[in-house]
């Protein structure tokens, strides 16, 4: 209730000489440069510059356009996924929600004869309902999100498959499918989808990094019990994030349908994995509590650039998958390898790692 | 339940075992399975009694049973192995390749497949146990890597039935005393692993590690070595499943094994294996696998489009974890309520009996068994 | 000096640091065979660290560590067990999913042929152990849901079954009732008579004097003295533990007691607490005393809304407070410093600034936007006021000492300008200096009209600080004693249940 910014009120009188604190222990440039996010961004720039100069046709007119168009789904889904992983949960069902909403969108438009707009609104709503279902089970029933979303991964995709079977709907107005493929400025490599992405990215960044709600998200990930004791509504926060995840997945379902021109149940199968991989690559800790949106966006683009460049170098998609897998393992291992190194140094001084440190653990988790 | 639960000496072993069995998750899944088969057979007698009905009923789940058994061992240590589908694909292709490129006897090829799976599992295990990174992330990464390796190796090749000796392919359809060979393989594996988990020190330690990893370290258990073992076992069984799939289908396509990791986890969860470790049996997981596969086969017979299979499977997984939660909640409530009415307390008012027996009140023991 | 061959466990000048924090500066403990050795000291004196070094949980930085005359250096708990050291920790460490029997024998189950676990033998042995301990627990039930006392019994059974030559018990009686304590003592004496060495850590001096042969005192991570129990008095021990007169520690200043602030009526939660009613007035410090596990923290948690309750009502300043909603409690003017500061009190991996501004941050946002700068501006003065020692506001709370962490937690709650402060174990695990600071602060806050509900397991703290002592036993308030009338005897009697036949056995 208090909106105090200065300690006033009933508490004891301030000490005569008031201690002051520096806000930060390290200078600004160190905090920026020595961060995980900066490393990912630097790697992205390096890979991009290298590709520009060394990979034939990478600087061609279509490369970046297709890069953005194809990674747009992952970029969008990574926004709510970041927040969910920061709370220590996970949503494996996003790609299935994309599939289901794609089917729903196609059927509502083609079979039920609704306008594209109305069908799209309803499809997004269906996505939100799917997210709410996950959120309810995880946040209010208290079930582990990995188990719940493995179940709904099958369930949501299964409903799509049940509704449409192996059929598909392709009868969409050209004006809409063209819009999905259009460029913001003709001649520039930026597809239209980047506009809604930019808007959502800003909104998610504000929510995650510049709001009390966002602070709660990080606290839940670091220590949900302490968050609860501090008055953070842990359940509601998680539920909101899952609903957001479903909503964004619904939007991606429509985008995927329009950009490919096909509504079918198999759309975006397996897409949850690159989304999660990109989040982890971008510096989000799977234990929760750590990560930032700019790192994740750089992570998605890094995967995209590597894919593009390798495709142009005529590597097969398989080699590319191996590369991404190795990158993912290395990136998550890097944190613990560093910790291991630090611990080895500490061990030299006799401070042995212990699971139950008595008074002052050097590393909480 | 009566006093027998508190005063252990009074309960006869037979009644105790019977009691445990009646309250077990395994029995519940088995009953559902039997009902499903019965209803489906009433609809169409060929489901069970047709020329291939009986065989398919037993044969089709054998691959998933192997994976579910391996997955259970990993899950009870509070880990997960998402790479089993890719491992399966890789070993299935290896099997075909060995038949094409070498003249090795079938036994050696099968062992090579298992060994390959074990090595892939070893990689997972080392990364998880020593890398201090959650298994979900590691095996997500190796899932990509193994699948990529498989597809790169295979290229546009496809192993066809002609590439493999007929004696090997016959293993996929042959029966001994009316029971398909591959089912026998799966059941033998199930029995051995089930026996190990229940009666061997190492098996019990897997449960302990999953139940409370910190306590396991304080007990001085070899946590890393056990986790490594679980992953190697899971990998080896995925390897065996790859060989089985090659024998059963006679072909190896690039998509073999995609998505089975989620089915394996789902089968285990349906069978009562806790996703956060510490409890569940391979018997339950195997029955879960049977149920999943049989539902898939039964739906068309029951007049439901088989496009709905996946939805039913998903609903089943969600229902299973909700059921688990409800049972745990009920058990917790009973345990807490039991503290208010300690055994031996005759007068109302503040409890005066020693709390030592209070915790072990008779009314609670039953529900615990139900959760196991 | 004792004859070398009779010494079972010997630690000399053992030191151990965690990062910048020296948990143990110079620990010395020499325990003879066939004796029960008491190790006493305040929280944070380094007893638990010493025990964990013996157990192989931690490795010492320096000093001598001998077992039966031989130098040892345990790298793991398995090694210490293998050498015959058994430790019973304050908090039982059991596997909730496994049966009681398996918990006792995990890692060293009796085997029959082919390495198969002999379940029959295991159960028989478990029953024998329980018979010896005089308890009745079904060895086949899972450990999940056992009361703390039962869990403690299983830990003891585990230690006995190890056939250990050195047995260390870290506050084993904290959660036990009178009968259970007596039973434990009987077992301990019989183990001593078999020639084993026992180390007994306890805060209850009457238990130390009833059971032990020798007593070693520690203070601030260092050894103070070792004496035969017959040659020392309680007052000697206390003054050595504290290093100064006890009165200094509790600078209780009289405060004018005002209107009721917190009114709790008929609070009830099945299996946890029953019919709890009490009032805390402005300027009053109400102490909530009782055994560990009696339900004190649970009552506090329910009042604050972290947990729910089945019946009853909570009113603050005359207004009802919504149940099961910490936000509502905070809005109504409650603040809650919880028992376990690392798990509940603060986000240890979060910065000092974010922890301190953690509750008030909603009001720091401008146009819905919350910036780190705003948090730093708000947190700085509060950290300064509590004299939190940190180099910068972005330092993680994890790197700080227990006392400093506690200051961060208190700062965070005082920043909300509360009318009621609930504080659970205000000085657990913090150094003596900070302890006095916390006590002085509580006194001052009460003097300024804050209502304080203080839960403490340290009797001197309760008696020294509280205007009124409420005693909780088995989930019920069994006594409401005024400051003037409160004595260790009547509080302990109420805490161990005066209606029980065991009450008379509680040594006073």
Do the domain assignments include residue A50? no
Closest-CA distance, A68 to chain B, in angstroms, reads 22
Do the domain assignments include residue B85? yes
CATH number at residue A152: 1.10.3470
* C-chain residues near B332 (CB < 8 A): 145
Which 235-274 residues of chain B touch chain C by CB within 8 A?
274
Do the domain assignments include residue A365? no
Q: Which domains does chain C have, with CATH numbers?
A: 4-94+146-243 (3.40.50.300), 249-333+418-505 (3.40.50.300), 350-416 (no CATH)
Residue of B nearest to A92 (CA): B262
Please state the three-class secondary structure of C441-498 as a single string.
Answer: HHHHHHHCCCEEEEECCCHHHHHHHCCEEEEEECCEEEEEEECCCCCHHHHHHHHCCC
Split into its structural domains, chain B has a count of: 1
Query: CA–CA separation, A93 vs A253, rounded Å?
Result: 13
Do the domain assignments include residue B123? yes
Query: CA–CA separation, A146 vs C303, rounded Å?
Result: 33
Do the domain assignments include residue A344? no
Contact B365 C141 (CB under 8 A): yes
- Per-residue pLDDT for A240 more than 50? yes
- Per-residue pLDDT for C459 more than 90? no
* A-chain residues near C392 (CB < 8 A): 21-25
Contact B368 C93 (CB under 8 A): no
Report the candidate in C299, C286, C327 with the shortest Cα–Cα distance to residue C486.
Answer: C286
Banded model confidence at residue A10, pLDDT cuts 50, 70, 90 = very low
Report the candidate in B268, B266, B272, B270 with the shortest Cα–Cα distance to residue B372.
Answer: B272
CA angle B160, B165, B171 (to 5 degrees): 95
- Per-residue pLDDT for A4 more than 70? no
Do the domain assignments include residue B25? no
Banded model confidence at residue A139, pLDDT cuts 50, 70, 90 = very high
Q: Are C379 and C364 in contact (CB under 8 A)?
A: no
Banded model confidence at residue C247, pLDDT cuts 50, 70, 90 = low
Q: Are C117 and B204 in contact (CB under 8 A)?
A: yes
- Per-residue pLDDT for C15 more than 70? yes
Mean pLDDT (chain A) is 85
Pick from B138, B145, B265: which is nearest to A150 by CB?
A: B265
Contact B350 C141 (CB under 8 A): no
Query: CA–CA separation, C7 vs C357, rounded Å?
Result: 53
* C-chain residues near B221 (CB < 8 A): 78, 106-107
Q: Are C391 and A25 in contact (CB under 8 A)?
A: yes
pLDDT digits (tens, 9 = 90+) for C209-237: 999 999 999 988 889 999 999 999 888 88
CATH number at residue B271: 1.10.3470
The first and second tokens of residue A164, run together, are: 């449409």
Average pLDDT over residues C82-111: 86
Q: For position A341, what pLDDT does the model report?
A: 65
Do the domain assignments include residue A44? no
Strand partners, C311: C268
Identify the residue among A25, A142, A218, A229 best suited for mutation to test binding to C, counting C beta carbons within 10 A and taking the highest.
Answer: A229
pTM for the model stands at 0.85
- Per-residue pLDDT for A108 more than 80? yes
Name the stretches of chain B with pLDDT < 50.
1-9, 342-372
**What DSSP designation does C262 have?**
E
Query: CA–CA separation, A259 vs A272, rounded Å?
Result: 19
Between A31 and C175, the more confident residue is A31
Query: CA–CA separation, B86 vs B60, rounded Å?
Result: 19
Query: CA–CA separation, A242 vs A217, rounded Å?
Result: 12
Average pLDDT over residues C112-136: 84
Average pLDDT over residues C78-84: 88
The first and second tokens of residue B194, run together, are: 């089930």
* C-chain residues near A361 (CB < 8 A): 18, 342, 348, 398
- Highest mean pLDDT among A123-137, A306-320, C437-451 belongs to A123-137
Do the domain assignments include residue B96? yes
Mean pLDDT (chain C) is 86
Average pLDDT over residues A266-290: 88
Strand spans (E) along C317-461? 319-320, 334-337, 420-424, 451-455
Do the domain assignments include residue A122? yes
Query: CA–CA separation, C79 vs B238, rounded Å?
Result: 36
Do the domain assignments include residue A359? no
**What DSSP designation does C282 have?**
T
The first and second tokens of residue B124, run together, are: 């997972």
Please state the three-class secondary structure of chain B as a single string.
Answer: CCHHHCCHHHCCHHHHHHHHHHCCHHHHHHHHHHHHHHHHHHHCCHHHHCCCHHHHHHHCCHHHHHHHHHHHHHHCCCCCCCCHHHHHHHHHHHHHHHHHHCCCCHHHHHHHHHHHHHHHHHHHHHHHHHHCCCHHHHHHHHHHHHHHHHHHHHCCCCECHHHCCHHHHHHCCCEECCEEHHHHHHHHHHHHHHHHHHHEHHHHHHHHHHHCHHHHHHCCCCHHHHHHHHHHHHHHHHHHHHHHHHHHHCCECCCCCCCHHHHHHHHHHHCCCCCCCCCCCHHHHHHHHHHHHHHHHHHHHCCCCHHHHHHHHHHHHHHHHHHHHHHHHHHHHHHHHHHHCCCCCCCCCCCCCCHHHHCCCHHHHHHHHHHC
Report the candidate in B316, B196, B337 with the shortest Cα–Cα distance to residue B265.
Answer: B316
Identify the residue among A104, A140, A155 best suited for mutation to test binding to B, counting B beta carbons within 10 A and taking the highest.
Answer: A155
* A-chain residues near B141 (CB < 8 A): 277, 325-326, 328-329, 332
Average pLDDT over residues A31-40: 84
Domain limits at A73? 62-332
SS3 at position C319: strand
Return all residues near A309 (Cβ < 8 A) that are at least 6 apart: A47, A50, A51, A55, A58
Domain limits at B253? 53-331
The first and second tokens of residue C225, run together, are: 């003295």
Q: Angle at which helices A63-86 and A94-106 pack, to 10 degrees?
A: 120
- Highest mean pLDDT among A347-356, C242-251, C356-365 belongs to C356-365
Do the domain assignments include residue A258? yes
Q: Are A129 and A239 in contact (CB under 8 A)?
A: no
Pick from C95, C136, C473: which is nearest to B356 by CB?
A: C136
What is the ipTM for the molecules in this complex?
A: 0.82
* A-chain residues near B147 (CB < 8 A): 318, 321
Do the domain assignments include residue B347? no
Q: In what order do the strands lie in the sheet with C285-290?
A: C334-337, C420-424, C451-455, C285-290, C468-473, C476-482
Query: CA–CA separation, C239 vs C40, rounded Å?
Result: 12
Residue B177: Cβ within 10 Å count:
5
Banded model confidence at residue C335, pLDDT cuts 50, 70, 90 = very high
pLDDT digits (tens, 9 = 90+) for A68-97: 998 999 999 999 999 999 999 999 999 999
Split into its structural domains, chain A has a count of: 1
> Is C136 within 8 Å of chain B by CB?
yes
Do the domain assignments include residue A40? no
Pick from C21, C331, C445: which is nearest to A12 by CB?
A: C445
Q: For position C432, what pLDDT does the model report?
A: 67
Query: CA–CA separation, C362 vs A1, rounded Å?
Result: 8
């Amino acid at each position: 209730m208090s909106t105090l910014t200065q300690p006033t009120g009933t508490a004891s009188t301030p000490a005569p000489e008031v201690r002051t604190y520096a806000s930060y222990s390290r200078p600004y440039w160190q905090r920026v440069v020595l961060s995980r996010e900066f490393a990912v961004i630097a790697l992205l720039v390096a890979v991009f510059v290298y590709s520009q100069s060394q990979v034939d046709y990478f600087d061609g007119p279509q490369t970046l356009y297709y890069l953005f168009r194809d990674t747009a789904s992952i970029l969008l889904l990574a926004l709510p996924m970041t927040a969910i992983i920061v709370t220590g949960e996970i949503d494996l069902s996003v790609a299935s929600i994309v599939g289901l909403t794609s089917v729903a969108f196609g059927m509502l438009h083609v079979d039920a004869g609704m306008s594209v707009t109305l069908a799209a609104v309803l499809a997004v709503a269906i996505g939100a309902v799917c997210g709410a279902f996950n959120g309810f089970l995880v946040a209010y029933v208290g079930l582990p999100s990995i188990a719940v979303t493995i179940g709904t991964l099958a369930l949501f995709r299964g409903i799509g498959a049940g509704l449409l079977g192996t059929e598909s709907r392709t009868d969409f107005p050209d004006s809409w499918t063209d819009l999905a493929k259009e460029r913001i400025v003709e001649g520039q490599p930026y597809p239209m989808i980047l506009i809604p992405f930019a808007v959502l990215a800003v909104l998610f960044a504000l929510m995650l990094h510049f709001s009390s709600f966002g602070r709660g998200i990080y606290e839940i990930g670091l220590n949900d019990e302490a968050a609860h004791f501090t008055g953070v509504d842990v359940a509601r926060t998680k539920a909101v994030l899952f609903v957001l995840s479903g909503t964004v997945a619904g939007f991606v379902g429509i985008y995927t349908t329009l950009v490919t021109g096909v509504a079918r149940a198999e759309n975006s199968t397996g897409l949850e994995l690159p989304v999660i991989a990109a989040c982890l690559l971008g510096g989000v800790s799977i234990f929760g509590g750590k990560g930032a949106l700019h790192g994740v966006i750089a992570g998605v683009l890094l995967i995209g650039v590597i894919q593009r460049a390798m495709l142009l170098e005529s590597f097969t998609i398989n080699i590319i998958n191996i590369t991404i897998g190795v990158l993912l393992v290395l990136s998550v291992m890097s944190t613990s390898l560093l910790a291991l190194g630090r611990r080895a140094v500490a061990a030299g001084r006799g401070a042995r790692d212990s699971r139950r440190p008595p008074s002052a653990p050097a590393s909480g988790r | 339940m009566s006093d027998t639960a508190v005063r252990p000496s009074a309960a006869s072993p037979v009644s105790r075992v019977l009691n445990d069995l009646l309250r077990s998750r395994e029995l519940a899944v088995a009953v559902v399975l039997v009902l499903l088969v019965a209803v489906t057979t009433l609809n169409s007698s060929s489901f069970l009694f047709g020329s291939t009905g009986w065989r398919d009923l037993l044969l089709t789940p054998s691959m998933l049973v192997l994976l579910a058994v391996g997955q259970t061992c990993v899950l009870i240590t509070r880990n997960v192995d998402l790479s089993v589908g890719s491992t399966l694909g890789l070993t299935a292709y290896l099997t075909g390749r060995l038949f094409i490129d070498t003249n090795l006897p079938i036994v050696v090829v099968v062992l090579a497949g298992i060994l390959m799976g074990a090595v892939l599992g070893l990689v997972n295990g080392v990364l998880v146990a020593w890398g201090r990174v959650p298994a979900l992330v590691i095996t997500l990464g190796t899932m990509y890597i193994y699948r990529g390796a498989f597809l790169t190796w295979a290229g546009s090749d496809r192993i066809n039935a002609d590439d493999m000796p007929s004696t090997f392919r016959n293993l996929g359809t042959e029966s001994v005393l009316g029971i398909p060979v591959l089912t026998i393989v799966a059941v033998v594996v199930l029995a051995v692993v089930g026996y190990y988990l229940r009666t061997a020190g190492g098996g019990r330690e897997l449960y302990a590690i999953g139940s409370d990893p910190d306590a396991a370290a304080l007990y001085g258990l070899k946590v890393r070595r056990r986790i490594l073992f679980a992953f190697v076992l899971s990998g080896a069984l995925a390897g065996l499943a790859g060989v089985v799939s090659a024998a059963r289908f006679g072909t190896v396509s690039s998509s073999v094994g995609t998505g089975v990791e989620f089915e394996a986890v789902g089968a285990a969860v349906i069978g009562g294996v806790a996703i956060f470790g510490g409890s569940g049996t391979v018997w339950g997981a195997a029955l879960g696998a049977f149920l999943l596969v049989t539902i898939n086969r039964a739906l068309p017979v029951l007049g439901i489009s088989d496009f709905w299979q996946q939805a039913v499977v998903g609903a089943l997984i969600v229902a299973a974890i909700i059921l688990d939660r409800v049972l745990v909640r009920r058990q917790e409530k009973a345990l807490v309520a039991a503290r208010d009415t300690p055994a031996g307390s005759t007068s109302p008012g503040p409890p005066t009996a020693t709390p030592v027996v209070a915790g072990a009140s008779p009314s609670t023991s039953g529900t615990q068994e139900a959760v196991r | 000096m004792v004859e070398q061959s009779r010494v079972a466990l010997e630690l000399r000048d053992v030191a151990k640091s965690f990062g910048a924090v020296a948990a143990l500066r110079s620990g010395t403990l020499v325990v003879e065979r066939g004796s029960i050795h008491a190790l006493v000291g305040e929280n944070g004196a380094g007893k638990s660290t010493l025990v964990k070094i013996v157990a192989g949980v931690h490795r010492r930085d320096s000093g001598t560590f001998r077992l039966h005359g031989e130098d040892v250096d345990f790298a793991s708990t398995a090694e210490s067990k293998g050498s015959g050291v058994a430790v019973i920790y304050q908090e039982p460490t059991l596997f909730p999913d496994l049966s009681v029997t398996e918990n006792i024998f995990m890692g060293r189950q009796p085997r029959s042929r082919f390495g198969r676990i002999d379940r029959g033998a295991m159960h028989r042995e478990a029953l024998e152990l329980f018979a010896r301990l005089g308890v009745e627990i079904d060895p086949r039930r899972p450990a999940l849901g056992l009361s703390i006392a039962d869990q403690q019994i299983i830990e003891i059974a585990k230690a006995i079954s190890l056939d250990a030559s050195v047995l260390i018990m870290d506050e084993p009686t904290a959660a036990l009732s009178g009968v259970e304590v007596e039973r434990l003592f009987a077992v301990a004496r019989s183990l001593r008579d078999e020639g084993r060495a026992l180390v007994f850590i306890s805060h209850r001096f009457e238990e130390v004097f009833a059971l032990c042969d020798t007593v070693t005192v520690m203070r601030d991570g260092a050894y103070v003295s070792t004496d035969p129990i017959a040659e020392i008095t309680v007052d000697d021990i206390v003054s050595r533990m504290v290093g100064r007169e006890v009165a200094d520690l509790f600078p209780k200043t009289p405060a004018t007691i005002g209107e009721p602030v917190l009114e709790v009526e008929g609070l009830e939660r099945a299996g946890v607490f029953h019919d709890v009613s009490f009032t805390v007035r402005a300027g009053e410090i109400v102490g909530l005393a009782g055994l560990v596990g009696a339900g004190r923290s649970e009552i506090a948690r329910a009042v604050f809304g972290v947990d729910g309750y089945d019946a009853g009502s909570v009113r603050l300043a005359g207004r009802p407070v919504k149940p099961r909603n910490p936000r509502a409690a905070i809005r109504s003017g409650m603040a809650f410093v919880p028992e376990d500061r690392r798990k509940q009190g603060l986000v240890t991996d979060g910065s000092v600034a974010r922890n301190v501004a953690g509750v008030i941050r909603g009001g720091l946002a401008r146009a819905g936007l919350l910036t780190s700068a705003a948090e730093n501006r708000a947190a700085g003065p509060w950290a300064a006021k509590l004299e939190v020692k940190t180099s910068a506001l972005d330092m993680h709370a994890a790197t700080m000492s227990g006392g400093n962490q506690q200051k961060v937690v208190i700062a965070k709650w005082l920043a909300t300008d509360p009318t009621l402060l609930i504080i659970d174990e205000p000085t657990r695990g913090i150094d003596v200096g900070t302890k006095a600071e916390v006590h002085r602060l509580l006194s001052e806050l009460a003097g300024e009209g804050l209502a304080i509900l203080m839960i403490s397991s340290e009797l001197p703290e309760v008696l020294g600080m509280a205007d009124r002592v409420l005693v909780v036993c088995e989930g019920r308030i069994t006594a409401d004693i005024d400051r003037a009338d409160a004595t260790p005897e009547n509080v302990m009697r109420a805490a161990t249940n005066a209606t029980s036949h065991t009450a008379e056995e509680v040594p006073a």
